[in-house]
Structure 1
Amino acid sequence: MLSIDQIRRHAALLDRMADAVGLDLQDLAISGRMSMDNLASAVLRCANCAHPDRCSEWLRADTRSLPEFCLNKLELQELAEDA
């Protein structure tokens, strides 16, 4: 079972990944473009990723793209394309 600290860590990583492609997860949820269920599922997918340290390194590089290993890459890209 995931701890609250693990969930918080991955929620923060997901938020930063979304930001990397110009998305604001809070705005998406408020506007209804992303349901709370989909957001929760994305956090859980992130929490199941085997590469959280690689993810953090990727984000420190200040890239405007998503790494191939991101389990939420397709969903985030689709949301970004629809923005």
Structure 2
Amino acid sequence: MIDQCQLKKHADLFTRMGDAVGVDLQEEAIKGNLQFDEIAESVLRCTRCGQVEACQQWLSEARATPAAQSPDYCRNGDLLAFLKLDEAET
């Protein structure tokens, strides 16, 4: 079972990954492009990733230089790419 601390950690990673690729997840939720259940599933998907340390390192490096896309191993990469494309079109 996933504990609350782990959920918070992965919620933070998901938010930071969105920021790193130029997707404001909060704004997407406000606009209705991202539903609560999608956010919850994205955080759970992140908890199942085996690349947490690599992700944290990647995010640290991306802080200095925004990335065009998330790393290949990101389990939420497709969702973030879709949201980024949607933001670009509006």
Give the alignment's TM-score, normalised by structure 1: 0.95
Distance of 1:17 and 1:56 partners within structure 2: 9
Percentage of matched positions with identical amino acids: 40
2:19 counterpart residue number: 19
Provide the rounded CA distance (Å) in 1 between the counterparts of 2:27 and 2:86: 14
**Aligned partner of residue 69 in structure 1, secondary structure:** coil
Q: Please state if 1:72 is matched with 2:65.
A: no
Measured in 2, the distance between the counterparts of 1:25 and 1:75 equals: 11
Query: Residues 39-63 of structure 1, C-alpha deviation per residue, up to 9 Å, x if partnerless?
Result: 1100000011111111000011114
Question: What is the aligned-residue RMSD (CA, Å)?
Answer: 0.9
Count of residue pairs the alignment pairs up: 83
- What amino acid sits opposite 2:25 in the alignment? L
Spell out the pairing of 1:47-62 with structure 2 (5 A cutoff): 47-62=47-62
Aligned with 1:66: secondary structure?
Answer: coil
What are structure 2's unaligned runs of at least 5 residues?
A: none
- How much does 1:27 deviate? 1.1
Gaps (5+ residues) in structure 1? Answer: none
Letter in 2 for 1:68: D
State the partner residue of 2:37: 37
1:82 to 57, 68, 86: 86
Cα distance in 2 for partners of 1:7, 1:36 equals 15
The normalised TM-score by structure 2 is 0.88
Alpha-carbon separation, structure 1, partners of 2:41 and 2:3: 16
